[in-house]
Amino acid sequence: MRICKHCLLAELESEQDFYSLVQSRIALLTEDEKATDEAYQSRLNACRACDQLLGGTCTQCGCYVELRAAKRGMHCPHINPKW
């Protein structure tokens, strides 16, 4: 099985169990902890274009980018941060 570069968990059929877990964790965040919808989408777009995205995971830090992008206080861990 090939791992999709530049794909998020939401886009990977084989990763729907992990995606469900990530979504349930995001749902537990308070409004103060969550990034705005606009910021979230902008962050995900930057991650999709990043060479360090591999199958929904950031190879710089090992996080699921959909969860990291959802948290207001987080930032891109890349040497040259994308967001």
Taking only the tens place, the pLDDT of each residue in 19-69 is 898 999 999 999 999 999 999 999 999 999 999 999 899 999 999 999 999
Q: Tokens 């989408």 label which residue? A: 41
Predicted confidence band of residue 10 (pLDDT cuts 50, 70, 90): confident
β-bridge partners, 34: 71
Instruction: Report d(CA 18, CA 35) in Å as an integer.
Output: 21
Instruction: Say whether 5 sits in a helix, a strand or coil.
Output: strand
Cα 75 → chain centroid: 11
- CB 66: neighbour CB atoms within 10 A? 22
Question: Which sequence spans correspond to the domains of the chain?
Answer: 9-70
